[in-house]
Amino acid sequence: MTDLVEQDWVPACARSEISDGDKLEVELPNGDFVLLLGVNGKVIAVCGDCPHQDTPLAEGSLIGSVLTCPVHFWQWDVESGEMLGPAELPLTRYAVREDAGQVFIRPHPVA
């Protein structure tokens, strides 16, 4: 990676902090909150708030790869990004990489 690309990744946490089924909310340098999720042996990063009414998704449930908003029960498959059930808005996702036991997030949403 070039230095420019390296600088685009933000350290989020130690990889050991997230196992399958875990949720960990972290704050990016720009003040946005991202929710890290342990799913099928990997870490997935999504926006920290529901796109519907900004409810903290850390308070919702994660069963397998399905994340459910705690208020209106909107659901997303966080691996595919697919909206499930009553969800009407997509969930913003972020690129994640692991290196030397650390988890890094690219602070720009994935298109």
The Cα 72–Cα 47 span in angstroms is 17
pLDDT, tens digit (0-9, with 9 covering 90-100), for 30-70: 899 999 999 999 999 999 999 988 899 999 999 999 999 99
Torsion angle defined by CA atoms of residues 97, 103, 15 and 67, in that order, rounded to the nearest 10 degrees: -80
- Specify the pLDDT at position 1: 41
- Specify the pLDDT at position 21: 96
Q: Any idea which fold 3-59+91-109 has?
A: N-terminal domain of TfIIb (2.20.25)
Average of pLDDT values for 6-34? 93
Its pTM stands at 0.90
In the chain, the percentage of residues whose pLDDT exceeds 90 is 82
Tell whether the model's pLDDT for residue 106 goes beyond 70: yes
